[in-house]
Amino acid sequence: MKPLSLYVHIPFCIAKCGYCDFNSYALDTLLEKGHADEDWARRYADALMEETKNRIEEYSLEGREVATIFFGGGTPSLFPAEETRRVLDLLAAFFDLAPDCEITLEANPGAAEAERFGALREAGVNRISIGVQTFDDEALKRLDRVHTGDDAGRAFRSAREAGFTNVSLDLMFGIPHQTIDMAERDIGRALDLGPEHLSAYELTIEPGTAFHARQTRGELNGLPDEDTALRMWELRDSALNDAGYERYEISNFARPGFVCRHNLNYWRRGDYLGLGAGAHSLIEGERFWNHARPDVYAQSASDPTANSECVDDPQKALGEALMLGLRIKEGVSLAHIKQECGADPEDAFGELISELENSGLVARENGRLRLSDKGTLLANQVLAKFL
């Protein structure tokens, strides 16, 4: 049986960042008048627990081993620790959590969230991912972030004081008006803190975001040109490699033993159950996703499915397996995905693979297909060809 991961979506934020295309909402826009501040969390946790019980029954998941749990958002660190504990206790009661189960929670560097780190550690969370983005205060303002660079350092130290020995930091480059020197300083400050894991990715302007609207109106200035962005990629890779971090995925780096196992399960097309507003799941060839709005989700928590699709068609499964697996530095075994998907990738994509090889974008080694260095820089365009 495939590994199973659990994803819990907490869609609430203090403010919606201009670049963000995740299913997230500023908390003060959703709070109902007349309720105490913590009631929103209790009601949402109740909905998560109701959905969990029904999904377990619907897909016969009780007792299945779970290797990873990930609280994402939004800003899960806004969620009171006692509600996180309630959800984790329910998951532990119905699933067989592996002894080394990786339990991650995303956090913003704000002081209020950092104060919860100790209680979250006691609740069972053993990995914290802090959304720093940049340590430069002016750049943070341009990204609509509500913390400072110093806040990020304090949050990291708070995580250490709370007992977390597995901490990840998110960094962004290609920020409007960011220079090479600024990007280099960000990496230096992150390395000075000494996290076990780093996600370092380029800003992309996604449709539906405030940044996209500003770009359409010609109001988003200062984005780096391609040459500058490429130099930032190269700086990132060399600096992190020199510091002992291995790039195991396009934008993810880890010290030995600290890769994010939850994300690896996505990229290897393992099964995952997504709980919460807008969460996606993939269980034994069926993908389904929940209503996005938290209020609609909570009202329909016994059956929050918004839509579903079958993804066990061999052609579709092959395309997904290649698109996701090529994100990983080691690439994919063509023999393995042939067995997994019930079809030969050479029959379905042989011509495309040869074209990409001839262009120097992918390479074959010992039956595996992986992105080349050039292909990694153009990953979005390359991977899209398999869909």
1 three-state secondary structure? coil
In this prediction, residue 316 carries a pLDDT of 86
Stretch 320-344: mean pLDDT? 93
Residue 151 confidence (pLDDT) above 50: yes
* Phi, psi (degrees; rounded to nearest 5) at 231: -65, -35
In this prediction, residue 39 carries a pLDDT of 83
pLDDT digits (tens, 9 = 90+) for 45-80: 999 999 999 999 999 999 999 999 999 999 999 899
Token representation of residue 363 = 């390479």
Domains of the chain: 4-266 (3.20.20.70), 313-387 (1.10.10.920)
In this prediction, residue 26 carries a pLDDT of 85
Residue holding tokens 């897909």?
59
Q: Give the pLDDT band (50/70/90) at residue 321.
A: very high
Strands 246-249 and 25-26: unpaired
Q: What percent of the chain has pLDDT over 90?
A: 86
In this prediction, residue 34 carries a pLDDT of 43
In this prediction, residue 30 carries a pLDDT of 62
Residue 237 confidence (pLDDT) above 50: yes
Amino acid, single-letter form, for residue 307: N
pLDDT digits (tens, 9 = 90+) for 2-50: 789 999 999 999 888 999 999 999 887 665 544 445 588 999 999 999 9
pLDDT digits (tens, 9 = 90+) for 254-288: 999 999 999 999 999 999 999 999 999 999 889 99
Average pLDDT of the chain, as a whole number: 93
How far from the centroid of its chain's Cα atoms is residue 70's Cα? Answer: 9
In this prediction, residue 32 carries a pLDDT of 52
The C-alpha angle 371, 272, 297, rounded to 5 degrees, equals 120
How far from the centroid of its chain's Cα atoms is residue 30's Cα? Answer: 24
Closest CA to 135 of 125, 124, 145: 145
Contact 10, 78 (CB under 8 A): yes
In this prediction, residue 311 carries a pLDDT of 86
b/e sequence 309-334, b meaning 16+ C-beta within 10 Å: eeeeeeebbbbbbbbbbbbbeebbbb
Residue 334 confidence (pLDDT) above 70: yes
Higher pLDDT, 380 or 85: 85
Residue 113 confidence (pLDDT) above 80: no
How many Å apart are CA 204 and CA 173, to the nearest integer? Answer: 10
pLDDT digits (tens, 9 = 90+) for 186-225: 999 999 999 999 999 999 999 999 999 999 999 999 999 9
In this prediction, residue 15 carries a pLDDT of 86
In this prediction, residue 1 carries a pLDDT of 72
Residue 363 confidence (pLDDT) above 70: yes
Stretch 103-125: mean pLDDT? 90
